[in-house]
Amino acid sequence: MTGDVQVEKVAEIVKDLIKAWQRANKREVKVDEEALRRQAEIAAEILRGFYRNGGGRLVLLKAPTGAGKTEIFASLYFYQVASGVWHTGRMYVVEPVHALLEQMAKRFGTYGKAFRVKVEEDHGEVKRPTYLYTAPITLTTVDSYAYAYLAQRVDKWIERGNLTGRFTMPVGLMMHAITVFDEAHLVQDEVYLGPRALARIICYLVNAGAYVVFSSATLPTAFIKEFKSRCATVEERILSSRPRKVNIEFRKAELTPNDVDCSKGALIIVNTVPRARRFYKDLKEKCKGKKIYVLHSLLTRGDRERTLRELEELEEKKRINEAIVVGTQTLEVGIDYSFTRLYTDLSPLDSLIQRIGRVGRRGDPAEILVFQPERPEPYRKDLLEKTAPKLDSLEKMLGDAAKLGELLDEVYDEKIVEDMSKKGDSLYVQFLDYLENLHLYSLPPETHPQIKPSLYVDLYLLTTKDVDKETKELLISREELLRRRMRISFSYRRLDRLENILGLFDSCEKGGLERDDEKLKFNNWNRVSTREWIREGSLVILCDDVDRVYDEAGLKVEEASRRPEEEKSVQTAGKKSRRGKRT
């Protein structure tokens, strides 16, 4: 290996990546040479460290939204392909949420074709028995990556009456790969469990020789400290960009449809799904003739993908300003359209920076209107109170990653981080206990470690016509089944969200899926509780009339029957599932 990495050669790789993506999206092919130089210099610095260093290292890549982080970390692998000089044979790109993985897969698929490198995805689902070992680049999620290290089965199913599944990404592959955590700030959570748990996993790998990159615009110092205290080699690379042309206005009133100008395209980001549903429907009435879209977590995968395809078509035709997109936090990352206007509820500073980064991405002036929500949920009230006074400063700092970090530290100060951490200490202790009992050449502990305070379950929304009445075999393909899926997150401390959703389906059949000779069958469970849904990990709903519970704006959560809130923690570890097998 050699540390002789020329910036000019790296710039050629970055330029090829930029042009390939622009052509794939039918955009004008042009490259900002000044920005290209900055990208190439940062990438070359990282590559030199990889080639020179005999051990592992963690690189913290901090850059404003839209500054070109993706091309930088992609070039770390593709430079090897072009030069023939290798530091690692594989690459994992780890996304915090499934929606981002799907979008990044398209981008890396384009890069792979340009360089003739195979790219695959790991959603925690089995596609082909050997795909994980035949693709040099694999895109996956934080959950799949972490649970692979922790020897947990990510994809599970019932086969011949027994629970089975598969392990993903053997640790040996992680050790000899470069792993990139994209949008790494989303690992942070309300009890600071994610940063602490991942610091353990990542630093075990780094200290054993792995190369890891964390890429984000918003990494507070408290987050970084977790990794610096455990990883032997940590380096920070900061990429700045030209000052953004934005105007931020803060209004101390709740955002309503009356505030929206129907004549202009816009992103509208609100803090809860019910509010997004109402806003979408109100705008459909107010802005007749305008293309109104909605994106949030309680849409089926098929509906979300269809909406994104339509938006991409509008972007390609340079007609995106004919559209207004309403959504929740799902719009904070991965959206790359040329909108120049944003209406948003106030959210914590790191979240707000990401929202602002969704507009003015082509260098055009952007207008941002921030509104004071009536209620702080789902965020901490003190975080919103500390964020609001920072908006004047934020407008001047959006192109400077270092100054953004300083501003974040004023919001996420030691007192707030300590308070957040205390609420997650019990889960962190359980995680450490699991690690202590994870040994080489032995089965993993029976308990289920948590790397974040929220869990997720799958919901498959089918009609009775999708299942054979006699054999109970599914009459739809596996691909169509996945299009009908929703992945629903909930807090480990409260089950009321799942209770309310489950209440929507009182008149529908509920059950699970069994695999029999490669055929999927529906297994009716009769009565289903939320805890059983959590233990099984997924739930299949069969309704005569799906329109009663789901419409063009997604799952009708506002119509869910209200049940008493359940404040007890979800204690799933070691409990038996309906099949009598431990999960």
Task: With CA atoms as reference, report the closest residue to 217 among 198, 233, 240, 195.
Answer: 240
- Classify residue 447: in a domain, yes or no: no
**Interior CA angle at 91 toward 85 and 92, to 5°?**
170
Question: What's the mean pLDDT in 237-248?
Answer: 83
Same domain, 172 and 277: no
State the Cα–Cα distance between residues 91 and 212, nearest whole angstrom: 10
Same domain, 377 and 265: yes
Residue 372 tokens read as: 């004071």
Res 562 pLDDT > 50: no
Question: Residue 469 to residues 122, 398, 538: CA-CA distances in angstroms?
Answer: 33, 58, 21
Same domain, 117 and 66: yes
Give the domain-ending residue among 398, 433, 462.
Answer: 398
Q: Is this structure's pTM higher than 0.85?
A: no
Question: What's the mean pLDDT in 57-84?
Answer: 91
The total number of residues written for the chain in this structure: 583
Question: What's the mean pLDDT in 204-208?
Answer: 90
Residue 45 tokens read as: 């610095």
Same domain, 255 and 197: no
Q: How many helices (H) and strands (E) does the chain have?
A: 19, 22
- Classify residue 60: in a domain, yes or no: yes
State the Cα–Cα distance between residues 332 and 365, nearest whole angstrom: 19
Res 578 pLDDT > 50: no
Cβ atoms of residues 481 and 460 within 8 Å: yes
Residue 329 tokens read as: 């936090």
Where residue 274 sits, what CATH number does that domain have?
3.40.50.300
Residue 143 tokens read as: 């959950």
Same domain, 230 and 85: yes
Question: How does residue 379 score in pLDDT terms, banded at 50, 70 and 90?
Answer: very high
CA 210 to chain centre: 23
Same domain, 210 and 314: no
Q: Which is it for strands 366-371 and 90-95: parallel, antiparallel or unpaired?
A: unpaired
SS3 571: coil
Whose structure tokens read 């206007």?
A: 341
Question: What's the mean pLDDT in 424-439?
Answer: 80
Res 154 pLDDT > 60: no
Question: How does residue 176 score in pLDDT terms, banded at 50, 70 and 90?
Answer: confident
State the Cα–Cα distance between residues 447 and 435, nearest whole angstrom: 11
SS3 383: helix
**Interior CA angle at 116 toward 115 and 122, to 5°?**
100
Sign of CA dihedral 449, 451, 453, 458: negative
95 or 161, which is more confident: 95
Cβ atoms of residues 569 and 493 within 8 Å: yes
- C-alpha count within 13 angstroms, C-beta hemisphere, residue 548: 13
Parent domain of 302: 246-398
Residue 81 tokens read as: 């392909």
Question: How does residue 582 score in pLDDT terms, banded at 50, 70 and 90?
Answer: very low
Which of 1-10, 374-383, 528-537 is the most confident on average?
Answer: 374-383
Task: With CA atoms as reference, report the closest residue to 404 among 212, 194, 241.
Answer: 241
CA 136 to chain centre: 22
Ramachandran angles phi, psi of 120, nearest 5°: -130, 170
State the Cα–Cα distance between residues 226 and 345, nearest whole angstrom: 30
Q: Give the chain's domain count.
A: 3
Give the domain-ending residue among 365, 381, 398.
Answer: 398
Sign of CA dihedral 100, 61, 109, 177: negative
Same domain, 191 and 323: no
Cβ atoms of residues 353 and 277 within 8 Å: no
Cβ atoms of residues 537 and 157 within 8 Å: no
**DSSP-assigned beta bridge partners for residue 268:** 326, 343
Average of per-residue pLDDT values in the chain: 84
Question: How does residue 561 score in pLDDT terms, banded at 50, 70 and 90?
Answer: very low
Task: With CA atoms as reference, report the closest residue to 451 among 207, 170, 99, 144.
Answer: 144
Residue 137 tokens read as: 């680049």
443 or 327, which is more confident: 327
Ramachandran angles phi, psi of 131, nearest 5°: -60, -30
- Classify residue 147: in a domain, yes or no: yes
pLDDT of amino acid 119: 92
Same domain, 338 and 266: yes
Cβ atoms of residues 188 and 350 within 8 Å: yes
Question: How does residue 474 score in pLDDT terms, banded at 50, 70 and 90?
Answer: very high
Res 495 pLDDT > 70: yes
Alpha carbon distance, N-terminus to C-terminus of the chain: 45
Same domain, 211 and 250: no
Res 454 pLDDT > 60: yes
Q: Which is it for strands 234-238 and 119-122: parallel, antiparallel or unpaired?
A: unpaired
- Classify residue 432: in a domain, yes or no: no
Question: What's the mean pLDDT in 218-246?
Answer: 86
Res 135 pLDDT > 70: yes
DSSP class of residue 426 equals: H
**How many C-beta atoms surround the C-beta of residue 579 within 10 A?**
15
pLDDT in tens, 322-371: 899 999 998 888 777 888 999 999 999 999 998 998 888 777 888 999 99
Task: With CA atoms as reference, report the closest residue to 330 among 307, 313, 361, 314.
Answer: 307
Burial 172-194 (b: 16+ CB within 10 A, else e): ebbbebbbbbbbbbbbbbbbbbb
- C-alpha count within 13 angstroms, C-beta hemisphere, residue 60: 23
Res 539 pLDDT > 60: yes
- Classify residue 1: in a domain, yes or no: no
- Classify residue 443: in a domain, yes or no: no
Whose structure tokens read 């996945």?
A: 482
- Classify residue 36: in a domain, yes or no: no
Q: Which residues contact 285 (CB under 8 A, 6 or more apart)?
A: none
Question: What's the mean pLDDT in 576-580?
Answer: 42
Same domain, 69 and 193: yes
Greatest pairwise CA separation for the chain in angstroms:
68
One-letter amino acid of 451? I
- Classify residue 512: in a domain, yes or no: yes
Question: How does residue 566 score in pLDDT terms, banded at 50, 70 and 90?
Answer: very low
pLDDT of amino acid 542: 93
Least confident of 9-23, 83-97, 401-415, 491-505: 491-505
Same domain, 381 and 515: no
H/E element holding 489?
strand 485-491
Cβ atoms of residues 424 and 187 within 8 Å: no
Same domain, 198 and 225: yes
Cβ atoms of residues 51 and 1 within 8 Å: yes
Q: Which is it for strands 366-371 and 341-345: parallel, antiparallel or unpaired?
A: parallel
